Structure 1
Amino acid sequence: MDPLITRRALNRATLDRQFLLRRADLPVLDVVERLAGLQAQTPHTWYTGLWNRIEGFKAADASELLENRQVVRVALQRSTIHLVSGRDCLAMRPLLQVVTERSTRGAFGRQLEGVDLDELAALGRSLLEERPMTFAELGRTLGERWPSHDPHALGQGVRWLVSLVQVPPRGLWGRSGPVAHTSAESWLGVEAPPMTAAELVLRYLAAFGPATVRDVQTWSGLTRLAEVVEGLDLVRFRDEDGRIHYDLPDASRPSTEISAPVRLMYDFDNLFLSYADRSRVISETGATALRGFMGTNVMPRIILVDGFTAGDWTVTRAKGTSTLNIHQWEPIADLDAVAEEGTRLLEFLAPRDKHEIAVFDHPSKV
């Protein structure tokens, strides 16, 4: 019988691989690749994700990588925007294109009927390589060729058919800009062999394992990965509900006795988006609290205490003072540790402001 792995053991293994048990003394690019990318749906909050994981992290280091084209923001896993290295962008995109195809056909398939997709891809690529454009600009220009079709659908069709990166200054620390796109190939100017499904699974397990087949599929957006996973040289565990988890044979699985430090996570952190069963980090109280955010169009910034969800945080700014607001989902025993980490976070986010900490219960969410 497969050996048992407890929820706490899954928690500690995951935190270790996500650099959340201890910050890594590694270059930003190495961390981004070892995490197989960070979800970067917003232009800037992912910087906090790197701050949580890298000792002495400076936002300018990541911003410089983005400006120098060593990392990019591109639609990959789950057809969502991820920050990845240029190498991973080119390697992952051909494999994950089917995920964007599925979502685009579901949302815009009817509006794209009658459009020659090869022509759409070629024209869209040509336009964006000539000059980066927003989807609104691209759609209007494509509409000159297909005047009877919805411009937004035409732009989204190009997003599916061509690997598009968001170009700076969008995403640079302390700066902003339009959501303008060009092709990954022209922006990066290099080639990389496409990644296989087996290679993607191994990258996932290195960053998120141990995990089930459904977990891998949730993270990637791919389907029918059972045969791929079962064909790899992996170890197996059985969790407390009887689910089979796979892992790399030589991967680190720390003792459950190791304590986990407080972490103030950003709103789209892959720690919470990359599992079919999120109970390895989300407590029952946390699951109830998160349901309270459904329909609000708000992704909470979650507080981890001893590796599990305990609340969320926000920052408000007024008259030169930044206040970190701690919203407890359940009573937090060591509020001092949360406040200390919150102060360090404010020093990163708003170094020139005065800093304050406010603590609130969160009855509406629990």
Structure 2
Amino acid sequence: MTETLTLRAINRATLARQMLLAREETSVAESTARLCGLQAQEPKPPFLGLWTRIKGFQAEDLHTALDERKVARATMMRGTLHLMAAPDYLSLRSPLQPVLDAGLKVLGPRAKGLNVEQVLPVARGLLQESPRTFNEMRSLLQAEFPEVNERALGFAVRMCLPLVMVPTQDRWGFPRNAAFTLAETWLGEAPSPDSPSALDNLVVRYLAAFGPASAADAQAWSGLPALSGVLDRLRPRLRVFSDERGRELFDLPDAPRPDEATPAPARFLPEFDSLVLAHSDRRRVISDEHRPGLTTKNLRVRATFLWDGFAAGTWETERKRKTATLRLRPFAPLPRAALKELSAEAETLLAFTDPDAADLHVTTEPG
């Protein structure tokens, strides 16, 4: 008989994979691999995501890992930027290529005259000469393909060539218009060729970081359709559970699944954190009632805080002269004990984000 996992049991299992039950003593590269990447649409969130997970994390730790090419910022799942451990980028990007190819559909009429097979060799040659910003790439490609929309040219290169961003000494690792280079140039070898085992490995790595999970969950995280066939192929290697709604969930046999009564500390997640984006059914971390408030009208994913393991509100910071303020916006009134623990964690976070601030303030406002 299939074992049923409660919502809290699923929550605690996911938090354990995501290093959110306790900060852990580990390196940036090891934690990034364990998390199967961190969402990095903007430069700052990966620093905050690692701070909330790694014991004693300092911003310099990520700068060093980037400079030593142990991790890289690159286009990955769902066509979005992620911080990836270098070996994972090389092995996991290839099975995601169909998602990236399909992303070209968003160009619509702007894709008129675009021949990707002609553009990519030219782009590759330009990048072999030197890392390029996309402003530079678009200009150079427009000179070669004057009849094609320059935005379409740049987007095709971003989606269809294995590129990584070149880090700088900017505070959060990358300027707004960072340069890109070819992955094989920066990381030392080309991405692995596509194969069924590569796709199997992608799904296994997902379950290790975000399981127990359904086929629909894996599809939501990766952007790939029809992963149920992959999970059926892997079924002999996996544990199979059901949730309280009767959905079939897959997991690795030896993956951590703590008791649902395991305490979960207050934690702050940055904008776009993968924890709130990696499942089709996100009730394991945020209720259906509160989920609409997670995303803004312009599709930004708000920073959230966890209380008792679940998203209990959003937060934001403000800096005025020498004063740094963190504002909590709970979804619902919180117990005094929760506010006390969250405030203490928030002050520690402000000390990380604004080490030169003379005053740190935490406020609670209506959501």
TM-score in terms of structure 2 length:
0.93
Identify the residue that residue 309 of structure 2 maps to in structure 1.
Answer: 307
Q: 1:222 to 1:170 in 2, by over 3 A?
A: farther
Deviation at 1:310, TM superposition (A): 0.9
Code of the residue aligned with 2:26 in structure 1: it is L
Q: Secondary structure at the match of 1:101?
A: helix
Identify the residue that residue 96 of structure 1 maps to in structure 2.
Answer: 96
Q: Distance in 1 between matches of 2:100 and 2:270?
A: 24
Q: 1:344 to 1:177 in 2, by over 3 A?
A: same
Q: Distance in 1 between matches of 2:108 and 2:184?
A: 26
Find out whether 1:80 has 2:80 as its counterpart.
yes
Q: How does 1:107-146 map to 2 (within 5 A)?
A: 107-108=106-107, 110-146=109-145
* Alignment partner of 1:316 out of 315, 318, 338: 318
Identify the residue that residue 252 of structure 2 maps to in structure 1.
Answer: 248
Q: How does 1:1-366 map to 2 (within 5 A)?
A: 1-104=1-104, 106-108=105-107, 110-169=109-168, 173=172, 176=175, 178-191=177-190, 193-194=192-193, 196-232=198-234, 233-290=237-294, 293-333=295-335, 334-353=338-357, 354-362=359-367
* Residue segments in structure 1 that go unaligned for 5+ positions in a row: none
Deviation at 1:285, TM superposition (A): 4.1
Contact kept? 1:52, 1:264, Cα under 8 Å: yes
Deviation at 1:157, TM superposition (A): 1.3
Code of the residue aligned with 1:178 in structure 2: it is N
Q: Secondary structure at the match of 2:141?
A: helix
Code of the residue aligned with 2:216 in structure 1: it is R
Code of the residue aligned with 2:141 in structure 1: it is L
Q: Distance in 2 between matches of 1:205 and 1:11?
A: 14
Q: Distance in 1 between matches of 2:27 and 2:160?
A: 33
May I ask how many residue pairs the two structures share in their alignment? 359
Structure 1 vs Structure 2 CA RMSD: 1.7
Q: Distance in 1 between matches of 2:156 and 2:192?
A: 24
Q: What is the percentage of aligned positions where both structures have the same residue? A: 40
TM-score in terms of structure 1 length:
0.94
Contact kept? 1:302, 1:310, Cα under 8 Å: yes
Code of the residue aligned with 1:40 in structure 2: it is A
Q: Secondary structure at the match of 1:89?
A: helix
Contact kept? 1:41, 1:268, Cα under 8 Å: yes
Deviation at 1:176, TM superposition (A): 3.0
Q: 1:115 to 1:314 in 2, by over 3 A?
A: closer
* Residue segments in structure 2 that go unaligned for 5+ positions in a row: none
Contact kept? 1:343, 1:355, Cα under 8 Å: yes
Deviation at 1:174, TM superposition (A): 6.7
Deviation at 1:280, TM superposition (A): 0.4
Q: 1:192 to 1:155 in 2, by over 3 A?
A: closer
Listed one character per residue, the Cα deviations across residues 227-246 of structure 1 (whole Å, up to 9, x for unaligned) are 11111111111111110000
Deviation at 1:137, TM superposition (A): 1.9
